[in-house]
Structures are given as structure tokens and as C-alpha cells.
Amino acid sequence: MTILRAVVVAGVIGAFSNIAAHAAPTFEQYSVAANRDKPAPVNLQSHPKARTFRTNLREGARKGPNFAGHFTIVQWGCGTNCIEGAVVDARNGAVYFPPQLAVIDYWGGPETPNLPALQFRASSELLVIAGRTSVHERLGVLYLRWSETHFDEVQFVSKDEWQELESPRS
């Protein structure tokens, strides 16, 4: 009986550690002070692709910082269930085209009605992408941290793993 209890306890601990390993990062873990100053004009000379998307960049950046303190994520459509975007520094207008925002085939539909393609906050360096990026070919939820000029991957949870963690327990 003691051996059986030990096996059951080990199984329960293993199950919880597996769930903990996939615990989603939170916006609060990557918090920064949000900046509400008037944004600088977009600097179209700061990136070779900036001129191509100048209207989208100007219209998006005009709204002010919405990400990581003093940055603005600007996004636009590129087809059905597809978005792409850039990051604009509201302090100096510099434009960044991180590869993770090049093309996002987002995952949505009836099974995930409350899962937007991009989730971000003005007061956090964390970006959450639900879908498949041109960099990360697998479908799932990708957690990225903005580091002034680029994103660093924090965690990736495949669609199957995410649905298993999010599905109601009976």
C-alpha cells in the first residue's frame, strides 16, 4: 500500500510540475512604466521597409504608445486571418520590423473566440501571439519580450498543449 501511495503522489507531483512548466507568463512579470507623451513623427529613414508602409505606420503611431512603455505596435492586414506589423519608438520615431511580426497567420475561430492574434499592453514588455509566425512555424501561443530593438522568445505553447491546459476540467 505504501508503494502505491508513493506512485500516486509521484504521478500527481509530475502532473502539476508539467502544468507549472507551461504556466503562461503574465504582463505583470514584464511591467514597465507607460509613457503618455506625444509621440515623435515616424522616422521613415530608420528602416528600409518603413517607406513602403508609411501610411499604416503614421496612422498607428499617431495614437501614441501602446506597448512596452514608449513603443507603439502598429498592425495591418495581409489577407484572411493574416496580419503583419512593426514597432515604432514614440520617443524618436524609429521603426523596427521584427521578424516575428513579418507575417502572422493567426489562430482563431469558434474554438478560441476570446483569443486575439496579438495581446499587449502599454505597461508591459510582453507580447503574446496566438498563431503561426514566419519565424515560428508551429501553430500555438508565442510569448515574446521586447528588448528595445528586438523580441526575445520567452515561451512557446503548441496549440494542442494550450487547448489541453485551457480546456475545462471535469
Segment 77-104, tens digit of pLDDT: 988 888 999 999 999 999 999 999 998 8
Q: What is the 3-state secondary structure (H, E, C) of 84-103?
A: EEEEEECCCCCEECCHHHCC
Cβ–Cβ under 8 Å, residues 140 and 150: no
Domain carrying residue 117: 26-166
Q: Is residue 12 part of a domain?
A: no
10 Å CB burial of residue 116 (0-12, 13-18, 19+) is middle
pLDDT higher than threshold 80 for residue 1: no
Q: What is the pLDDT of residue 135?
A: 85
Higher pLDDT, residue 1 or 70:
70
C-alpha to C-alpha distance for 122 and 20, rounded to whole angstroms: 27
pLDDT higher than threshold 50 for residue 114: yes
Radius of gyration in angstroms for the set of CA atoms belonging to the chain, rounded to a whole number: 19
Q: Is residue 60 part of a domain?
A: yes
Q: Is residue 18 part of a domain?
A: no
**Once rounded to an integer, what is the mean pLDDT over residues 30-49?**
96
Q: Is residue 6 part of a domain?
A: no
Q: Which helix (H) or strand (E) holds 19?
A: helix 2-21
Q: Is residue 158 part of a domain?
A: yes
Rounded to the nearest 5 percent, the helix, strand and coil shares of the chain are 25, 30, 45
pLDDT higher than threshold 90 for residue 22: no
> Mean pLDDT in the chain?
83
Distance from first CA to last CA of the chain, Å, rounded?
Answer: 27
The answer, as to whether pTM is greater than 0.95, is no
Band of the pLDDT at 160, cuts 50, 70, 90?
confident
Q: Is residue 8 part of a domain?
A: no
How many independent structural domains does the chain possess? 1
Segment 40-83, tens digit of pLDDT: 999 999 999 999 999 999 999 999 999 999 999 999 998 888 89
Q: Nearest Cα to 93, choosing from 45, 34, 143, 21?
A: 45
Band of the pLDDT at 36, cuts 50, 70, 90?
confident
Reported residue count of the chain is 170
